[in-house]
Amino acid sequence: MPTNLLLSISVKYWQDFQDTLAKVMDANIYIFDVNGGSFSRFSRPVELCQEVNKGGKICNEKCIRFYKSALRSLEDKGILTCPYGIRLYAYRLGTYAQNIGFLVITSTRIRTQVSGEEENTFVTKAHSIYQTINEVLKAILEQVFSKVEPSSLSIEELMTLPGLTGLEVAPGNEIMVYPLWTALGAVGLLGIVFPVSMDDNGSRNLQIYANFAAVALANAKLIRRLEREAETDFLTGFFNKRALRNILVTELERTIRYSIPLSVIFLDIDDFKTYNDTFGHMAGDVVLQKTAEIIKNSIRTVDIAGRYGGEEFVIILPGTKKEGAVAVAERIRKSIEIYPFPHRHVTVSLGVASAKRNDSIDSLLARADQACYQAKRQGKNRFCLDPS
């Protein structure tokens, strides 16, 4: 309960607010908790979703898997397409330090073709909805956590919290909710059920348990933060070399076990050292950051990109054959070629390799690297496919 802050908000009261906002803004809104689980219901009818999910919460298995995967990799915001073709605008709720959950917004009028003007108008509307909901959620949670003393909940109130509808509490018991405070601030809530007859000594013991839980949660949060930092390239926000190799081990095992295709792209920025030496390291950093942004915008949410070192990037494409990987490589190459970088034109060379049954991560990366080197030798600003 404490790590999922949305659990401290009653869905019964939240849904009314959400539905009213959706009606005013003429958009469909739904919210997921930090684990990608459905928190609220659809606010407005979406015909296709009603056919798939019976018009209520996300209950279709394909949809559940999609949202859990896509939202887990979402940073601040992104445009997604659900398995049934609906375009979604997704936002991370909360702050950089504390994720409350995720907001997903769609138009109530689902169309396959949308003009650029319509798209821009809806993006502006979606951002306005996000700002409103994020501020309201943060205000609610601030109010919840502003209480230093524990507060009492009735069983009826407790049952309105998501995930607790099946909880069995004996009649006559009370529920005390303790805000968990540490040096990091409020890290969660702890709910404890106890008999009405509990004396003062028992109440003091409960507060001690709450303090222990707060420290444990704070330590867990610090460990997770350190783990994330250890896996992240500070400049680009991408996975670093260590994290990429760990991910590739998992993907390669899955590929071999289930005979699923897997491809890798090795990307190197052409003449980057000369650019750095001529225009300075800050200008070089801008090129690296923009290259990372272009890569991110050119791949799917299930694909994994990282900075392998210096001016080298690696993109892992699960479930992708060489033909699909070639298309991704060309899309990235062309996007970088036409981007108006400051100072001068920037291009990249790319190598594409697809996994074989006898591959290790080193052999797969080596083949992609060799293909990239071949692209350099052939004149740069191109991709080469590993011939093996």
The ranges assigned to domains in the chain are 5-145, 151-229, 241-385
**Is residue 259's pLDDT more than 70?**
yes
User: What's the average model confidence in pLDDT over 152-170?
Assistant: 53
* Range from 56-60, 64-68, 277-281 that averages highest in pLDDT: 277-281
> Rounded mean pLDDT of 32-48?
72
CATH code assigned to 5-145: 3.30.450
For 265-315, the pLDDT digits (tens) are 999 999 999 999 999 888 999 999 999 999 999 998 889 999 998 999 999
Give strand pairing partners of 351: 266, 384
**How would you classify the pairing of strands 173-182 and 151-153?**
antiparallel
Distance, in Å, from the CA atom of 26 to the CA atom of 51, rounded to the nearest integer, reads 21
Nearest to residue 291, comparing CAs of 275, 368, 277? Answer: 275
Neighbours of 315 (CB within 10 A): 28
Distance CA 82, CA 95 (A): 25
Which residues, in sequence order, are bridge partners of residue 178?
190
Specify the range with the lowest mean pLDDT, choosing from 63-67, 219-223, 362-366, 371-375: 219-223
Q: Which of the residues 311, 312, 330, 337 is marked catalytic?
A: 311
User: How far is 191 from 171, CA to CA, in rounded Å?
Assistant: 17
Has 311 been annotated as catalytic? yes
Please report, for the chain, how many H helices and E strands are present, in that order.
11, 12
DSSP three-state, residue 176: strand
Q: Are 77 and 64 in contact (CB under 8 A)?
A: no
> For residue 44, which of 22, 25, 60 has the smallest C-alpha distance?
22
Tell me the pairing of strands 87-94 and 77-81: antiparallel
Q: What pLDDT is attached to residue 87?
A: 81
Sign of the Cα torsion 331, 301, 93, 115 reads positive
Structure confidence at residue 267 (pLDDT): 98
pLDDT category of residue 102 using cuts at 50, 70 and 90: confident
Give the pLDDT confidence score for residue 308 in this predicted structure: 94
Q: Are 29 and 129 in contact (CB under 8 A)?
A: yes
DSSP state of 7: G
Q: What is the mean pLDDT of the chain?
A: 76
Locus of tokens 């994994």? 304
Nearest 5 degrees, angle CA 110-CA 111-CA 114?
Answer: 120
Residue 195 is classified by DSSP as E
**C-alpha 157, offset from chain centre:** 31
CATH architecture label of 241-385: 2-Layer Sandwich (3.30)
| Per-residue pLDDT band at 258 (split at 50, 70, 90) | confident
Angle at 8 between CA 207 and CA 26, to 5 degrees: 165
Q: By the 8 A CB rule, do 52 and 60 touch?
A: yes
d(CA 90, CA 76): 8
* CA neighbours closer than 13 Å in the CB half-sphere of residue 315: 33
CB atoms < 10 A from the CB of 10, how many?
A: 16
Closest CA to 328 of 356, 363, 303: 303
- Taking each helix axis from N to C end, the angle separating 281-298 and 322-338, rounded to the nearest 10 degrees, works out to 140
- Give the length of the chain: 388
pLDDT digits (tens, 9 = 90+) for 193-219: 555 555 555 455 445 444 444 444 555
**What are the tokens at 169?**
């509490």
Q: Taking a C-beta distance cutoff of 8 angstroms, is the pair 368, 265 a contact? A: yes
Contact 21, 132 (CB under 8 A): yes
Q: How much is the pTM?
A: 0.48
Q: What are phi and psi of 81, to 5 degrees?
A: -125, 120
